[in-house]
Amino acid sequence: MSAKRKKEKIIPYRKERTQYLEERIQYLEEVNRYTLDALELAAFMGNFYTDFNKLGNISMLLDETISRIQRLIRLQAMVLFLVDEDTKDIFPAKAEPESYSPYIQSEVDFLIEKGTYAWAVRERRPVVVSTEDYKKKLIVHVIATSHRIRGMFVGLLEKDKTDISDISLSLLSIILLNSANAIENFELYNVIKKREKTLKQAFKELKDTQAQLIQSGKLASIGELAAGIAHELNQPLMVLRGNVQLIKRSMRKNILNMDELTKQFEPIERNTKRMMNIINHLIIFSRQSESKSSSVNINKIIEDCFLMLGEQLRLRNIEIRKDLSADLPQIHGNANQLEQVFLNLISNARDTIEARDEERRTRNDPIKGRNEFRGRLEITTRMGETDNQQSTINNRQSKDFIEILFKDNGGGISADKGDKIFDPFFTTKEVGKGTGLGLSISYGIIEKHKGRIEVADTGPDGTTFRIKLPVLNIED
């Protein structure tokens, strides 16, 4: 073969090879471009369901899924079927276009009848099958999370588009997996919202119940106070009556001058104010008030308690010892509720002292005379003492709280009842003499004030209750 003919053969070969390589490069560039677009599309798919607050209903989520698939694969029509959670049947939830929904539904019924549908579910990948008349092709892909089937995707291929790249099918799997997760998360979000609403309602009802219990505790305290209040008012009334009678008698005999008359009116005015204070305080205490917290003086609240209970304790020969710190700082709280706690502890101390005396009577033990103190109640207020065991309270240093101690010399609390005394409706008193709500309500009130109430000591010689309240401002 001549050199000329050889050259003529090489040139066409090179042209064909060059053209082939150019076409191959163009194809690979298109595939690369398509792959990058598809990957970007699939990555973005994971973002459309993150903010469930903006999804009014699941239909919006399905619309977004169809939109992503349309950008990925050319389809004549598609339907997203979902599983009915009650019946476990599938139903067409979204179709594009809507007019193809009956046709694809009939094809799905045919696939179910043949068993192809169940096979596609098990495969968990895109499956291309023929229609019932074998004229068209369907892409069938289960919509499922890693542990739960949510539905099925069915797409009708265009007549001239029967070859789908492996990349497209893989990306379809990613999109439908993201869609399944989005559907599940959306439903979980709605469940959480519903439960949150239920919990909020339950919390509101609990607060209402707590307010009612506190008020019930107040009314119970008022009932117990009634006898004592009668005695508290009776004493100044006796003074008033005696002074008025004395004034009237003196005026009839005309033996009083103006100075002496003024002196006679002084105890009347003093005792009248005392009765007014008792009555006004009882009215304030009885009100059902949810007033906001303010700065309160703990020592004053304790003194107010004895304004109503002091006479009761005196008549029962119970000695009161008060050691109230003069430089005690004020705290932020609800004076009305704290007074309810203190009244309850004082009343309990009175009852346990009387119960101890009653027990002694049954044993014929000697009891001191009426003019001698048969019981003792000590109340102490002070700044919290620092120690290694209790260095903090509610994340505050112990020097930032005040301590209130109520110590009686009653019979004490038995070991088997000590852990239950703050439980609702638990009482150590006889049937008909206690509701079992006092200490439970007191516990809730102190906890609301970011403090703590506990039995510091108990035994045959009596019981000491300790309350710790933070000095710093607290939120209601």
Read off the pLDDT of each residue in 424-436 and give the average, rounded to a whole number. 48
What's the pTM value of the predicted model, to 2 decimals?
Answer: 0.46
User: Quick check: 176 pLDDT over 60?
Assistant: yes
Rounded to whole angstroms, the Cα distance separating 380 from 335 reads: 18
pLDDT of residue 436: 41
Number of CB atoms found within 10 A of residue 381's CB = 19
pLDDT in tens, 274-332: 677 667 666 666 555 555 678 889 999 999 888 777 877 887 889 999 999 998 998 98
Give every CB contact of residue 283 below 8 A, 6+ residues apart in sequence: none
Rounded to whole angstroms, the Cα distance separating 75 from 464 reads: 82
Rounded to whole angstroms, the Cα distance separating 441 from 214 reads: 6
Rounded to whole angstroms, the Cα distance separating 143 from 72 reads: 17
* ω into 470 cis (within 30 of 0): no
Residue 135: DSSP 8-state: S
Q: Where are the alpha helices (DSSP H) in 326-467?
A: 335-362, 438-448
pLDDT of residue 292: 63
User: Quick check: 367 pLDDT over 60?
Assistant: no
Q: 75 with 69: CB under 8 angstroms?
A: yes
The full length of the chain comes to 476
Mean predicted lDDT score pLDDT of the chain: 76
User: Quick check: 343 pLDDT over 80?
Assistant: yes
Q: What is the enclosing helix (H) or strand (E) of 395?
A: none
Rounded to whole angstroms, the Cα distance separating 134 from 190 reads: 43
Q: Which residues sit opposite 91 in a β-bridge?
A: 82
Q: Measuring CA to CA, which residue among 90, 91, 69, 44 is closest to residue 139?
A: 69
Domain residue spans of the chain: 3-192, 292-476
Maximum mean pLDDT: which of 180-189, 206-215, 226-235, 446-455? 446-455
- Strands 149-157 and 75-83 turn out to be antiparallel
Higher pLDDT: 66 or 33? It is 66
Amino acid at 240: L
pLDDT of residue 266: 73
Rounded to whole angstroms, the Cα distance separating 122 from 120 reads: 5
Read off the pLDDT of each residue in 112-126 and give the average, rounded to a whole number. 89
Rounded to whole angstroms, the Cα distance separating 406 from 347 reads: 11
Give every CB contact of residue 184 below 8 A, 6+ residues apart in sequence: 145, 148, 150
Task: Select 292-476's CATH number: 3.50.50.60, 3.30.565.10, 3.65.10.10, 3.40.50.920.
Answer: 3.30.565.10
Task: Select 3-192's CATH number: 2.130.10.10, 1.10.645.10, 3.30.450.40, 3.30.70.100.
Answer: 3.30.450.40
pLDDT in tens, 249-276: 676 666 666 766 666 677 777 667 667 7
Torsion 17-18-23-28 (CA) sign: positive
Rounded to whole angstroms, the Cα distance separating 80 from 96 reads: 9
pLDDT in tens, 436-445: 456 777 888 8
Q: What strands, in cross-sheet order, belong to the sheet with 401-408?
A: 318-324, 375-383, 401-408, 462-470, 452-459
Of all residues in the chain, what percent carry a pLDDT higher than 90?
16
